[in-house]
Structure 1
């Protein structure tokens, strides 16, 4: 079915970002890819992609068509896996978006066993602290650390998140500990300059604090190193600084306050009737790694 193959080529061009990249993945020349896309647009009677010399972009019609094509291709992949009894083995390309620090610390070290168990699988792990457009950018799933709102996506909770105010003993020795929540204004507070306030639950309910300090950065990892170095107080998750807390390299500050427990680590993926085996197996693998009491909280 040449029409179906054209749909596959179209989807691959969108996910790869260019006709040349899609051609390399498919083993086709850019000229052939371009020809097949033109044929698809002529058959549909509409333009799906806006092309420039450097990039492509979906038209409004192309965006809607792309979302439906992904659902079709996913269904075909699942059907083929069922018929060939490969539903318990991942295969193909798995594209995953992961927060930078969490991906480096808690996913990358565990990829080797999963990929060894699934030798027909290739993984494209994209580290990004921004929320990506899962459908529009061709991701199979994303890992998000958030309090999720309602959306058209499906989310599975992988692990709870504990977040506390912490500081290094060196900072405490030099500046002391805040004795009350309002006393934070007399201390150096460290945060990436996303503008997000600290939302905490304390003895008298929910409170909010907008951190300010001498360090400006867009990197959560820089904040992590700064608080370990004794520069100030930061709001950090135990998945990020659990070992340092256990070793005494960091101490709790204002121990009656912590972030909302509604924040958790989720696997988020498009709502589909048939979930591809590669997505299901990867999510099951991560859920097994973390569990209701994650490794970083066991001490």
Structure 2
């Protein structure tokens, strides 16, 4: 077995989370996988993985080694694609992380078309509202909705994210409609699932930060979505999340002169490397064409969004 093959086994074990899972993906027995890992560690003279009966974890040396192995394997894949004229084809498994609600509503419905266009590709989509460690967890890319700080990762902005204050007509009929930001203190507001402040931008660039207070707290963005539609209170929601409800009048845009920070965007994030694997590049291009520059969820009356997302 070549050194590159050993590196691939190591990377696959980290990605799969266990020797047996990696073996199934590669058509190898757990014993063979374990033997190849021991051979690699013996050759390097250091332990890369801490193994127990239930899980594996990267050692400090293994963490740094894994980051470099991912880059090496990506470069090898790119070189092979160039030589064999496979640059327009995607093969293998594409492992993606995405936020739970966005992934369900705006990634999952579009996977079939992408896989049909690339029949040699399979997709592993993991949904989570936590920011995963892309490198350590073996993801090819992550979809993130955030104002991204500087990091060792590469990010491509796929679309702007518009977030509005909204409430159900029933709520406004009972409690009235706020006329100013100060009025929000007298209303039932639904705090974000991540506990962050509401940072709002108003006319002439005015900016305020406030901590919403209301009867419901939850760690689920989807619970908050259902609560605001049911009339529980006022919430700050993205148009990708509630565009259809706004178009149908099930939600009302309140304080229309105020919006959330415009620095937050929808990004595809992937490990920093010189050679981007074909499968990653093609999928990012696919999402960019699908979402931007004017996302379909901002125009639900003119798209299939309303029916596709429900």
* TM-score category, normalised to shorter length: over 0.9
1:184 Cα deviation after fit: 1.1
Q: Spell out, residue by residue over 1:233-283, the C-alpha distance to the aligned partner (whole angstroms, 9 max, x if none).
A: 000011111111111111111112101111110101111111100000000
Alignment TM-score, normalising by the size of structure 2:
0.94
Q: Does 1:98 align with 2:101?
A: no
1:191 Cα deviation after fit: 2.7
Q: Which residue of 1 aligns with 2:213?
A: 212
Alignment TM-score, normalising by the size of structure 1:
0.98
1:32 Cα deviation after fit: 1.0
The answer to whether the 8 Å contact 1:23/1:29 transfers is yes
Q: Spell out, residue by residue over 1:140-172, the C-alpha distance to the aligned partner (whole angstroms, 9 max, x if none).
A: 000000111111111111111111100000000
Q: Which residue of 2 aligns with 1:45?
A: 45
SS at match of 1:64: helix
Q: Which residue of 1 aligns with 2:130?
A: 130
SS at match of 1:137: coil
Q: Which residue of 2 aligns with 1:56?
A: 56
SS at match of 1:242: helix
The answer to whether the 8 Å contact 1:228/1:250 transfers is yes
Superposition pairs of residues 146-225 of structure 1, within 5 angstroms: 146-203=146-203, 205-225=206-226
Q: Spell out, residue by residue over 1:54-94, the C-alpha distance to the aligned partner (whole angstroms, 9 max, x if none).
A: 11100000000001111111011111111111111111110
Q: Spell out, residue by residue over 1:22-54, the C-alpha distance to the aligned partner (whole angstroms, 9 max, x if none).
A: 111111111111111111111100010111111
1:115 Cα deviation after fit: 0.3
1:193 Cα deviation after fit: 3.9
Q: Distance in 1 between matches of 2:267 and 2:195?
A: 23
Q: Distance in 1 between matches of 2:59 and 2:18?
A: 15
Q: Does 1:275 align with 2:276?
A: yes
The answer to whether the 8 Å contact 1:8/1:73 transfers is yes
Q: Distance in 2 between matches of 1:265 and 1:47?
A: 38
1:194 Cα deviation after fit: 2.0
Q: Does 1:248 align with 2:257?
A: no
1:3 Cα deviation after fit: 2.0
Q: Which residue of 2 aligns with 1:236?
A: 237
Q: Distance in 2 between matches of 1:191 and 1:139?
A: 30
The answer to whether the 8 Å contact 1:191/1:220 transfers is no
Q: Spell out, residue by residue over 1:166-217, the C-alpha distance to the aligned partner (whole angstroms, 9 max, x if none).
A: 0000000000011221221111111344221111102361101111211121
Per mean C-alpha deviation after superposition, the further-off stretch among 183-192 and 39-48 is 183-192
Q: Spell out, residue by residue over 1:100-156, the C-alpha distance to the aligned partner (whole angstroms, 9 max, x if none).
A: 111111111111111000000010011011111011110000000011111111111
Q: Distance in 2 between matches of 1:40 and 1:96?
A: 28
Going from structure 1 to structure 2, the CA distance change for 1:262 and 1:192 (only over 3 Å counts) comes to closer
Q: Which residue of 2 aligns with 1:32?
A: 32
Q: Which residue of 1 aligns with 2:307?
A: none
* C-alpha RMSD over aligned residues: 1.1
Per mean C-alpha deviation after superposition, the further-off stretch among 62-71 and 198-207 is 198-207
Count of matched residue pairs:
299
Q: Which residue of 1 aligns with 2:266?
A: 265
Q: Distance in 2 between matches of 1:36 and 1:92?
A: 21
The answer to whether the 8 Å contact 2:193/2:221 transfers is no
The answer to whether the 8 Å contact 1:19/1:33 transfers is yes
